[in-house]
Amino acid sequence: MKANTVDFGIKDALAQLEIRPVNEGSSTGAINFSNGEIMESYSPVDGQIISSVKSTSRADYEEVITVATEAFKSWRTIPAPQRGEIVRQFAEKLREKKEALGKLVSYEMGKSYQEGLGEVQEMIDICDFAVGLSRQLHGLTMHSERPGHRMYEQYHPLGVVGIISAFNFPVAVWSWNAALAWVCGDVCIWKPSEKTPLCGVACQNIAAEVFKANNLPEGISCLVNGDYKVGEFMSKDTRIPLISATGSTRMGKIVAQEVAARLGKSLLELGGNNAIIVTPDADIKMTVIGAVFGAVGTAGQRCTSTRRLIIHESIYNTVKEALVDAYKQLRIGNPLDEKNHVGPLIDIDAVEMYRKALHEVVEEGGTMLVEGGVLSGEGLESGCYVKPAIAEAKPHYRIVQHETFAPILYVLKYSGGVENAIAIQNNVVQGLSSAIMTNNLREAELFLSVAGSDCGIANVNIGTSGAEIGGAFGGEKETGGGRESGSDAWKIYMRRQTNTINYTKDLPLAQGIKFDL
C-alpha cells in the first residue's frame, strides 16, 4: 500500500479484497495480462494514492481475448441452471465482503459509505435475479402453416461481451451486465473506469475465487485496465459481438459508430438531464426529500441525478424556501463518516466543470438561491469537495440543457396545466429518468401516458434517482436507448434462432410454392 490513510477501516477492507501494490504480484485475481504503464488510483476523499495497477497493452489485450474466447467454448455448454448456481455463489461471496467492498467504493469513488453499501447490495440483487432467470431463458412455440411441421424459437449465448463502465457506479453496472451475461452463457471482458480501477480488481478477485473453487476457467471473467485506447480495442474488435458502454453521450456516440461499422451490437447507457415536475397537488415534504437526495446524492454524479426542478407558479415560493432550508442542513465531508450527507467530486477536473457551470448559469441570467463554491480546510485537502448549489434559471439556458455531473439543481417555474411542465421536461436531448410529484390521479396518468414523459424511466411521487433490480433500466434519445438490469434485458446478451422441424415424409414449401421434381 502506498496510501497512508487507515481511517474508517480502509486498510482492513483492502486486505480483505486482496488489493496490494503491483510490485508484490498481480492484484487482479481473474485474467488480466497487463504489462503496460502504471496507473495510480487516487482517492478524492483525501487525495492519497490508494494503490497501483498496470494498464493493458495491445499484446496484453490479445492474450485476454484468446483466453476469453477459449473459456466461452466450455462455459456455453454448461446448462443455464448450473451457470446460475455459479452466480449464486458469487452473490454469497459479495454478502461476505459487502462491508469491505462498500468501503472501497466509497473511498475510491467518493460516494457516501451508505451509498457504497447500497451499490454492493445492487450487485447481490442482480445476482439473485439472474439465478432465477437461469431457469427462464425461454423462447416461443408457433403454429406452422405447413402440416406436419413445428416451429419454435430459442436463444443461444452470443460469446464475448465487452463491458465499459463509468466511475460513478464502479461495481454495480458491471454486475448488471456480467450476472445476466454469465447465466446466458457468455463470458465477459471488463474495462472499468481508469478513475476507479481498484474496484474492478476487487470484483475480479471475488469472481476468480468462485471460478477456481468450481474448477472453471478464469477467462469467464476478464479485466482490462486503461484509458479510452483500451475501449477502442474493444469497440473495434469483431470477436466481441456486444459492447455494453456506460458513460457520457460523447463517449457513447464514438462507441456506437465503431461498433455499428462492424455490424456489432451496442448497449448504451449515457447521459441524463433528469427533472422532477412539482404540481399544485404535490406533497411538499415528500418533494423536498426526493429532490434533495436526487440532486446531492453521490455529489450529483449519478446519471439519474435530479438536475431540474419544474415547479408550478402557485407553489413556487413555498417549495423554493423549503429547499433552501433543507440545503442548510447538509453536511459535507469524508463520505466514510456516516454523519455526512455529501462527499467529494471524483477529481479536480470535475470540480472545474462544476465551477464553469455555476459561472455560466449566472452569465445567462440565472440567480443563485444557494451559493456554490469549492471547500477547503481540515479533512478537505483533496480539493474535490464542493457545496451543493441551487440556481433559479430558465428552461432554454444552454447550461440547463447540458448535463453537468455535479450537485447543481436548476429551479424552473411553469404556469398553466401539467402539459406545460411535461413539455419543458421533454425539451432536452437526454431521456433517462423523470418524475412527477402530485396527488392528482389525472396528472399522474397523463405523465405516464403516450403524451407524457419521453424518458425510459417515469416515476410518480418518488424522485429520479435510485432504480431497483427487476425493472429495465435505461433511457431514450441521447441516453442511448439501452436497457439493463431487469425485465427482458437478458435478450440482448443472446442470439435468437428460429427453428422449423418437419416430421413428415413430404417437403411442402412455405407460401404454397410448388417445386416438383
CA distances from 293 to 7, 296, 305 (A): 26, 5, 8
The pLDDT of 319-332, averaged and rounded, is: 98
Which residues have C-beta within 8 Å of that of residue 289, sequence separation ≥ 6? 463
Residue 27 has pLDDT above 50, yes or no: no
Segment 3-26 shows an average pLDDT of 69
Least confident segment among 30-39, 42-51, 65-74: 30-39
Mean pLDDT of the chain: 94
505: CB partners within 8 A, 6+ apart: none
Residue 2 has pLDDT above 70, yes or no: no
Catalytic residue annotation: 269, 303
Amino acid at 62: E
Looking at residue 172, the DSSP 8-state letter turns out to be H
Average pLDDT over residues 331-335: 97
447: pLDDT strictly greater than 70: yes
Tell me the β-bridge partners of 434.
Answer: 275, 458
In tens, the pLDDT along 308-321 reads 999 999 999 999 99
Residue 31 has pLDDT above 80, yes or no: no
* Backbone torsions φ then ψ of 455, nearest 5 degrees: -95, 160
**What percent of the residues of the chain are helix, what percent strand, and what percent coil, each to the nearest 5?**
40, 20, 40
Q: How deeply is 377 buried, as exposed, middle or buried, from its count of CB atoms within 10 A (0-12, 13-18, 19+)?
A: exposed
Give the pLDDT confidence score for residue 380 in this predicted structure: 96
Q: Residue 121 belongs to what H/E stretch?
A: helix 113-133
Q: What is the reported pLDDT for 466?
A: 81
Q: DSSP string spanning 392-445? A: E--TT-HHHHS--SSSEEEEEEE-SSHHHHHHHHH-SSEESEEEEE-S-HHHHH
User: Between 113-133 and 98-109, two packed helices, what is the crossing angle to 10 degrees?
Assistant: 130
Rounded Cα distance between 20 and 2, Å, is 9
**pLDDT(35) > 90:** no
Q: What domains are defined for the chain?
A: 7-270+480-496 (3.40.605.10), 274-472 (3.40.309.10)
Q: What is the pTM of this model?
A: 0.95
β-pairing, 306-312 vs 274-278, is parallel
If residue 68 lies in a helix (H) or strand (E), which one and from where to where? helix 58-75
pLDDT band at 34 (very low <50, low <70, confident <90, very high): confident
User: CA 496, CA 51: separation in Å to the nearest integer?
Assistant: 43
Write out pLDDT tens, residues 365-412: 999 999 999 999 999 999 999 999 999 999 999 999 999 999 999 999
Cβ atoms < 10 Å from Cβ of 423: 12
Q: What's the 3-state SS for 204-256?
A: HHHHHHHHHHCCCCHHHEEECCCCHHHHHHHHCCCCCCEEEEECCHHHHHHHH
Q: What percent of the chain has pLDDT over 90?
A: 92
Q: Is it the case that residue 196 has pLDDT exceeding 70? A: yes
Q: What is the pLDDT of residues 224-278, one digit of tens each?
A: 999 999 999 999 999 999 999 999 999 999 999 999 999 999 999 999 999 999 9
- Residue closest to 130 by CA, chosen among 177, 200, 193: 177
pLDDT value, residue 5: 43
Q: Where are the alpha helices (DSSP H) in 243-347?
A: 249-261, 284-296, 316-327
| CA–CA separation, 98 and 100 (whole Å) | 6
Cell of 418: 401539467
What is the C-alpha to C-alpha distance for residues 413 and 316, in angstroms, rounded to an integer?
7
| ∠ CA 432-434-438, rounded to 5° | 170
pLDDT tens for 136-157 read 999 999 999 999 999 999 999 9
Question: Where does the pLDDT of residue 28 fall: very low under 50, low under 70, confident under 90, or very high at 90 and above?
Answer: very low
Contact (Cβ atoms closer than 8 angstroms) between residue 324 and residue 376: no
C-alpha to C-alpha distance for 501 and 201, rounded to whole angstroms: 47
397 close to 252: Cβ distance less than 8 angstroms: no
pLDDT-derived band at 424, boundaries 50, 70, 90:
very high
